[in-house]
Structure 1
């Protein structure tokens, strides 16, 4: 079998032909021969699976990246954008005119709209009012009717008309030519809006769009105190003028105002997509980690099976360098071929992920570039040489005496160091894929701890299983082959721990994304009472309090109406604060927005005192507040802190005298900051309420909006359902990636089983020669495999339940009941899975004549 290889290697070493070219040709012949003989299949399969998982995620992420970068100006509808939560100052608008820039303005806010004629249909809409000249970049497209061909249009809707997107047109059952009530105004539907440049990627878009002319906004009466409105100033021009404008206006910007350009276009979209991409990338990374174990096991077996050939080649004059070039070239060719196959598989698989992402974005995604393929090849080669290099180095160091003395195995010096280098290379790969040093360090540390914990538990479980079998009472006449198989776990402890740990990681990932995820979602959905409020009503003005309350009472509803004043936190203990004052991202977002403040003399339902005291009668009119405990922890607030809020341009100084815990699951109206009466009443306020609307009384909302057009009714149930559908889509994508993890776990199992096949061949042959029956040996094999799978399933279920409890407490904030059936099902499923795979790998050993096996082991 090895004659040609031996002669060719010896000739290459003796200089009878150019060494490098000859080694490469010989390496290719050996790759082809070993591939046909099955020697390299596990290595190639493990590499291909890892590369496929990572490249599939990479291709999908690259398409989103190219879409955002290629259409950055269209995503802004301008070259530069000034975003503000309050109207920009007049001198800022004037500065844009002085610099010769083209400009346009937009206002975006939620509100209810109703079909004016015929049967009343109401819906929450995301209203955008645009000025003349919008958009500055990109184009709008409209259609004359639903499902009709669309065409580009110049400018937004003319005064007196609105454009509805397809979702809103369906919800209102409105067609072009019909009239829509928007606040106090009635406007004509002019067209169906099919494309909006700065809404090209509508990630987590809940409400449908209504586009109207800015000149019609005042007549609607929808711009009221307390309304959440986003102002946008769009600018376009040459780079010099834009830079000059930005330098002039930057010192004039206030809190809640920021610039966005093509480099930071739609940061909330980028953040959401990056977060989903991180989850997918980490899922793919887990596949690479499990595949690395398979690579190490398969490479070790490959080396063991080539020790004799290397020893013969050393006797014939082959040098260590020649052997290293020969097998290094073979591994290089293998890595390139397996990586190419993995990239092809990843490209095909990424269309599944693309189908998910396509439901979250509304812009067509371009074809991916070459970067994911290059990363796939890099991952494949790093994995191969990081974990195959230590055994590969042993091949060049095999002693020539091995030809005569088979007991002389490969030298062990440097093996541990080689695998340490491989682990370091894998850690660097993890940091690279994570894309964030802090996240990458957490991932590396978390995986290292998980692997160490699984290995420790697996070792203790193997020892306990062997001890239990030894103490199990033996009865004469029974077939105790399974006892021998379970006891074999302890004899091959290291291999058993590797098999159990790797398979447990793959099973745990699947349990987390199937059973545990379902339990979490069920617990989250069941945490709210059945009659929890499912509708919120905002923008109730002070003069509407009595009429709105009477309207609700006439329909049999008595919701509690709460006042709301908007204020921005500017100082903590006489220290000015801004987003730059905090490192935590959540704190930065909170401090850069306006808070909803309210007043209450009695503790609201669902609020419990965490620290301090509740308001007394003497506190009325005093500058004291109660702060939600979670907000206080995020911002570092404590009892006695002095806070200053900017409310309607005036400074309001208050002292924190209480911290509250809120029952968010109650779906009631809750506020982060509460004051006693007499503190906030002088400031402009609107009112808000929440109530439970039975499924059969949907017409009440239509009547309410018809009577009070400025009110906005938010269907919380619809929002939660849409967010849940998005969560299901992303979870489904992650589960798809974890199928690669399961495949890698099965490859690890197979590699671990066949890596010991020579030892098992000799052991089973010896037992058969000593009189063991085939049925006893079959029971031993099945017992060992069932024990491996059962222990892996048990460990995986324990890990999945532990992580599920952490997620329930820290993320979902619900109580997750423990499922007593999960460990039993995971144990049984793991035992069946591994038994089937192990039997396929080793059953042919039972058919090998004992004499042949014994001769092979001599």
Structure 2
């Protein structure tokens, strides 16, 4: 046993001595590891920065220690007494409405936030020009003060002192919103925000029976009060029918946190793709390096060095280089949150100061080490098999087979550990498993594609052109570049094609297909006494339009079959149904855009127990079946209904759709408003502007939403997300380029021998350049065709089967993929081959 430490120390010394010559041969290795590790470290560090910042600033982001939210009603006397007993309570009210200029020249959809004098309980609100918020919102004669988002001021060309109308009251612009401490916890809005006093909102007449209004009660706990978690439990116990949504400062923005974790996992998996693709580059770089050291390996064996010592010498060198690459990647990851803070601080709670996130950096380090070991084990096993006779005759790795089984087993264990780490650390482990299976399948398929291309080349007819004949022969000869090129570029290009097709189809649906099928307008908060004059106005302004109207209430799902939904294990795709309040309706007849898939629709004169029709897709995700019961809270009252049937909905039509439709007797006597759509595909932009202006002026309390504007907002958001996704895909593509360069470097010795022999036999440099160009052109075309096929199938599946949107092939993606593949293979191939063509013949011929 004493001999092992001595051998280990000797191997370490030899490794350090040999590395005195620098890192030549390891640059691609370094770049692959640094790039993949850096991507994973950066994504996870930024995610940790945001989530930890949300947790650390919970009270500020939430606006209190606890937040109680009620929809469509205010707290009753008993509930308000309970809240007041906890400490200081600040009340705010939120809703959407139309803001219009006094002369009726223009209007815009706005998010209204009405606050009281105690706002904010935590944090600091700041406006430009700087002034106390109560002073800015104070009443001035017949109008009230307001502060607005800069976007609204720009859109309506407003400045300080100008007037704006909402509902039945006038507002005076007192400034623009610069810092709103609790904006993150209130979620994403489709319209710019204005902040007014609660007195101003009451005077506007916008709050009426059935209005879609959110009342938030933010509590600063008094000294000696129970913990927020204890208060939450007490509120649920003492007021089981209140129907309020309760959040504590520990969960200030749960939706944002969950979305960031999801998106971070997606980007982490893309980064892992880059690292695994880079692992192929690691294997090529290690193989090329060890191949260049075959004389040294043979010399060590001639001097009596055991094979184990030889392996340890180069294992130490590989690990040292790996550590350098990981360190470079960790620097990128450590700087990422600091850099992101300058760009995301206005949107997300991310610290602008420099902070390290050890868990994220440690995770990236583990991924980097496991990837290196997984892809270096096999070449190290080949190095062990280099015989001492290689010192006297050229005998490299090209003639060696698989290494001994311990090295194959070590590589398999490292890959299994890499997969286990990816699954264990994933937010959605099912998605991580699917990704890993797809990655393994991609390696197998790409290997089969390479074998197929080589087989086709082998069976090609004899060509008259010597250069082309040589290129085809190079594709199928032993030690050909075919597997390395197709594997390296195939993964990166397939990922790029998939993401490009998803992005392109999503944008096309938002701006084309969906907008063509969708209604022109949604109208919200229509009161019963407004229905007839509202219909008459639309008939006059849009004679060719179709108006659809349905009653609408808001309710929160509390239980399925009596089981609290907060204690149920729900798959991620179905959680949105249980998150917050849902729009609810009742109907006598089956809605026009629905089809019953199971069960029966109730009769028109049905008077029995409450029944509900549930969307079939969402019901399947939630594990519901016919006869199950659903308990919802509406206006502080719990209602339990039995599922009578399931419906298939056409969500892509963007028409009025509800997850749940109840039998009419369920909500007998419940106050509610109406929602309507106007569909007039012949209306121009000017017609739509006129219709919106007429509705806003005649019914200032009705909210008009132009669907195209909403789609434009979503499209802009998708574009911003696409930037991050494309950046991650670009990293994977860069890794592919590095792998390709490494593959060329690994084959340079064989290429040099071929070039020297051919030139000795009379081949000119021009002919060899043509031959290599043809070879890289054919390989690039084959890789591009595979990437187009595989990426198109993957993109179609995500768009049509997951997103349930129409999918189409985009020719520009095909053309760009083809160009990228050809430029990379030909350009990088010739760049690496140029030095080979300049080698002198004599030194090479002496080794043959």
TM-score range, shorter chain: 0.7 to 0.9
The 3 A distance-change label for structure 1 pair 819 and 464 is farther
Q: Displacement of 1:567 after TM fit? A: 4.8
Which runs of 5 or more residues in structure 1 are unaligned? 1-12, 145-149
The 3 A distance-change label for structure 1 pair 353 and 439 is farther
The 3 A distance-change label for structure 1 pair 112 and 625 is same
| Residues 790, 828 of structure 1: 8 Å contact kept | no
What are the equivalent positions in structure 2 for 1:726-741 lying under 5 Å apart?
Answer: 726-741=717-732
Q: Displacement of 1:360 after TM fit? A: 4.5
Structure-1 separation of matches of 2:418 and 2:94: 47
Q: Displacement of 1:491 after TM fit? A: 2.8
Structure-2 separation of matches of 1:216 and 1:154: 12
Q: Displacement of 1:359 after TM fit? A: 6.9
| Residues 133, 155 of structure 1: 8 Å contact kept | no
1:304 aligns with 2:263: no
The 3 A distance-change label for structure 1 pair 61 and 174 is same
The 3 A distance-change label for structure 1 pair 569 and 426 is closer
1:112 aligns with 2:86: no
Per-residue CA deviation, residues 48-86 of structure 1 (Å, 9 max, x unaligned), is: 222333334345334434542443221112222233435
The 3 A distance-change label for structure 1 pair 178 and 34 is closer
The 3 A distance-change label for structure 1 pair 136 and 617 is closer
Structure-1 separation of matches of 2:817 and 2:458: 21
Stretch of structure 1 that moved more, 83-92 or 416-425: 83-92
Residue from 403, 414, 424 that aligns with 1:412: 403
Stretch of structure 1 that moved more, 791-800 or 619-628: 619-628
Structure 1 equivalent of residue 695 of structure 2? 704
Stretch of structure 1 that moved more, 299-308 or 629-638: 629-638
Structure-2 separation of matches of 1:289 and 1:350: 24
| Residues 528, 673 of structure 2: 8 Å contact kept | yes
CA RMSD of aligned residues (A): 3.8
SS in 2 for 1:108: strand
Structure-1 separation of matches of 2:203 and 2:133: 25
| Residues 34, 328 of structure 2: 8 Å contact kept | yes
Structure 1 equivalent of residue 540 of structure 2? 554
Structure-2 separation of matches of 1:260 and 1:595: 18
The 3 A distance-change label for structure 1 pair 492 and 345 is farther
Residue from 759, 775, 785 that aligns with 2:776: 785
Structure 2 equivalent of residue 499 of structure 1? 485
Structure 2 equivalent of residue 143 of structure 1? 128
| Residues 225, 685 of structure 1: 8 Å contact kept | yes
What are the equivalent positions in structure 2 for 1:108-507 lying under 5 Å apart?
Answer: 108-115=94-101, 117-144=102-129, 150=130, 157-158=137-138, 160-200=144-184, 204-237=188-221, 240-243=224-227, 245-254=231-240, 256-318=243-305, 323=310, 326-344=313-331, 357=344, 360-361=347-348, 365-371=352-358, 373=361, 375-392=363-380, 395=383, 400=388, 402-403=390-391, 412-413=403-404, 414-431=406-423, 434-467=426-459, 469=460, 472-474=461-463, 478-492=464-478, 496-507=482-493
The 3 A distance-change label for structure 1 pair 334 and 437 is same
Structure-1 separation of matches of 2:526 and 2:377: 71
Q: Displacement of 1:427 after TM fit? A: 2.0
Per-residue CA deviation, residues 651-705 of structure 1 (Å, 9 max, x unaligned), is: 7676655544333343332334446767656432311111256421424433422
Per-residue CA deviation, residues 419-446 of structure 1 (Å, 9 max, x unaligned), is: 2133224324533664443333232222
Structure-1 separation of matches of 2:654 and 2:190: 18
What are the equivalent positions in structure 2 for 1:502-521 lying under 5 Å apart?
Answer: 502-514=488-500, 517-521=503-507
The 3 A distance-change label for structure 1 pair 208 and 242 is farther
The 3 A distance-change label for structure 1 pair 50 and 31 is farther
Structure 2 equivalent of residue 844 of structure 1? 835
What are the equivalent positions in structure 2 for 1:455-854 lying under 5 Å apart?
Answer: 455-467=447-459, 469=460, 472-474=461-463, 478-492=464-478, 496-514=482-500, 517-528=503-514, 530=516, 532-557=518-543, 559-567=547-555, 575=562, 578-591=565-578, 593-600=580-587, 604-611=591-598, 626-638=613-625, 659-674=646-661, 682-691=669-678, 692=680, 694-697=684-687, 698-770=689-761, 772=763, 774=765, 776-819=767-810, 826-827=817-818, 829-854=820-845
| Residues 115, 195 of structure 2: 8 Å contact kept | yes
Per-residue CA deviation, residues 536-569 of structure 1 (Å, 9 max, x unaligned), is: 1111111111222222233245523322244555
The 3 A distance-change label for structure 1 pair 681 and 341 is same
Provide the TM-score with structure 2 as the length reference. Answer: 0.86
Q: Displacement of 1:723 after TM fit? A: 1.4
Structure-2 separation of matches of 1:594 and 1:408: 68
The 3 A distance-change label for structure 1 pair 129 and 463 is same
Q: Displacement of 1:234 after TM fit? A: 1.5
Q: Displacement of 1:506 after TM fit? A: 0.6
Structure-1 separation of matches of 2:709 and 2:567: 36
Which runs of 5 or more residues in structure 2 are unaligned? none
Give the count of matched residue pairs.
827
1:855 aligns with 2:840: no
1:98 aligns with 2:90: no
Stretch of structure 1 that moved more, 404-413 or 810-819: 404-413
Residue from 12, 18, 23 that aligns with 1:30: 18
Structure-1 separation of matches of 2:135 and 2:455: 76
| Residues 62, 368 of structure 1: 8 Å contact kept | no
| Residues 50, 348 of structure 2: 8 Å contact kept | no
| Residues 54, 349 of structure 2: 8 Å contact kept | no
Stretch of structure 1 that moved more, 680-689 or 609-618: 609-618
Per-residue CA deviation, residues 80-123 of structure 1 (Å, 9 max, x unaligned), is: 22334354454444334435x222222222122334x4455422
Q: Displacement of 1:257 after TM fit? A: 3.1
Structure-2 separation of matches of 1:519 and 1:594: 30
1:52 aligns with 2:52: no
